[in-house]
Amino acid sequence: MHFLNAVLGAELSEPIVSVVIINPYNDKEFLDDKLTIVDVKANDQSGRIYQIEVQLAYYSDLPARMVYTLSIGIYTTQYKKIVP
């Protein structure tokens, strides 16, 4: 919670006051999908999902990996909640 508030403070409309650590596995929706596992995934009090990855070194494929795991793990899950 404190980490997210520190990193996202300017972008948040209100501070995060609670988080619940959830399953770090981004389940496959189709047989050909890749199973991804993140370091930390959490929900805040408003139901927003945060995916936290900790990297000790930068490598060239990191940006692509981040976009991929974000799109299949977080974005589509929240999109399904908004659009019936």
- The pLDDT of residue 78 is 59
Could you tell me which residues come within 8 angstroms of residue 9 by beta carbon, excluding any fewer than 6 positions away? Answer: 15
- The pLDDT of residue 61 is 85
Using alpha carbons, select from 75, 57, 69, 82 the residue that is nearest to residue 25: 69
Q: Residue-wise pLDDT tens for the chain (84 aa)?
A: 898 999 988 898 889 999 999 888 877 778 887 787 888 888 899 888 888 888 788 788 888 877 877 776 666 555 555 555
* pTM greater than the 0.75 cutoff: no
Residue 24 tokens read as: 């770090």
Distance of CA 70 to the CA centre of its chain: 6
- The pLDDT of residue 2 is 92
